[in-house]
């Protein structure tokens, strides 16, 4: 089995799904040559598990990246470029995100704007700044069609952002989180349409309800199960699934 991609970058990789993505990628039989594990403070207390993982795998490179800070994103691009040298970046996984349980009565303007900045603006800003490296990968692979091994942007989404499903609003209103993820889904659709002819795949993935800090212990899925499924789905993506909204088992979800 060939590597999912020669180079992969994961945002928000210090915990939860992001950390497990880095762990499983590094431990795979054919790991990527470069795994760029990014988070806001890789040298701080919250980066401890990530640092310990990186010490075991030379393919993991720790990179500081705050998805709502443009100078930080541009600094990350430079750091990644220095490792890749004349190669491009094959796979960008926009995983960083924040939750909010605000109701219609409890939410305030600043919380709404902050959640939107991280969940909707962050992914598009990161993709924009890394686009030259994604383009370089798309052109340099000598491959036709779309795939994660050529060039791809994967946005980790949630079915709570599905307008078609509009699941469990009374049980979990979560207005800022739902609205920001619905906006992120539109970003995915737009990028898929715009970047298709450049050889770059774009897909939204719902990881399931997972036992993480965000998902809580009530969730039915372990992070290991979710990520195993996500990586299997990513390996099978093609031009037919660019612009799709899929879950961790590969099932299509309504927008």
Indicate whether 119 belongs to any domain.
Answer: yes
Give me the pLDDT at residue 143, please: 76
34: β partners: 7
Indicate whether 254 belongs to any domain.
Answer: no
Indicate whether 1 belongs to any domain.
Answer: no
Say if CB 8 and CB 34 are below 8 A apart. Answer: yes
Indicate whether 252 belongs to any domain.
Answer: no
pTM of the model: 0.96
The tally of domains found in the chain comes to: 1
CATH code for the domain in which residue 185 is found: 3.40.50.720
Give me the pLDDT at residue 89, please: 98
- Domain range spanning residue 133? 7-247
Closest CA to 125 of 71, 180, 181: 71
Indicate whether 214 belongs to any domain.
Answer: yes
Would strands 60-64 and 91-94 be described as parallel, antiparallel, or unpaired?
unpaired
Indicate whether 82 belongs to any domain.
Answer: yes
Give me the pLDDT at residue 220, please: 81
Main-chain dihedrals φ then ψ at residue 37, nearest 5 degrees: -95, 110
Give me the pLDDT at residue 104, please: 94
Crossing angle of helices 122-140 and 175-195, rounded to 10°: 20
How many Cβ atoms sit within 10 Å of the Cβ of residue 29?
A: 7
Indicate whether 255 belongs to any domain.
Answer: no
Give me the pLDDT at residue 209, please: 87
Give me the pLDDT at residue 214, please: 66
Give me the pLDDT at residue 215, please: 64
Q: Within the chain, which residues score under 50 in pLDDT?
A: none
Indicate whether 180 belongs to any domain.
Answer: yes
């Amino acid at each position: 089995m060939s590597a999912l991609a020669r180079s992969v970058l994961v945002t928000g990789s210090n915990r939860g799904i992001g950390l497990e993505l880095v762990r499983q990628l590094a431990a795979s039989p054919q790991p990527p040559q470069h795994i760029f594990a990014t988070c806001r403070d890789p040298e701080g207390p919250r980066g401890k598990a990530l640092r310990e993982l990186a010490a075991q795998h030379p393919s993991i490179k720790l990179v500081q990246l705050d998805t709502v800070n443009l100078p930080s994103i541009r600094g990350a691009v430079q750091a990644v470029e220095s490792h890749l040298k004349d190669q491009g970046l094959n796979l960008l996984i926009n995983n960083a995100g924040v939750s909010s349980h605000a109701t219609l009565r409890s939410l305030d303007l600043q919380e709404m704007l902050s959640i939107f900045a991280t969940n909707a603006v962050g992914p598009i800003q990161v993709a924009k700044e890394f686009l030259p490296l994604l383009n370089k990968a798309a052109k340099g692979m000598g491959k036709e069609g779309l795939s994660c091994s050529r060039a791809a942007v994967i946005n980790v989404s949630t079915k709570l952002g599905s307008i078609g499903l509009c699941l469990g609003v009374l049980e979990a209103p979560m207005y800022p989180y739902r609205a920001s993820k619905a906006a992120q889904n539109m970003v995915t659709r737009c990028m898929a349409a715009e970047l298709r002819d450049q050889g770059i795949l774009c897909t939204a993935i719902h990881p399931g309800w997972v036992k993480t800090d965000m998902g809580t212990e009530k969730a039915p899925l372990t992070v290991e199960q979710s990520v195993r499924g996500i990586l299997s789905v990513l390996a099978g993506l093609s031009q037919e699934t660019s612009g799709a909204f899929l879950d961790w088992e590969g099932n299509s979800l309504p927008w």
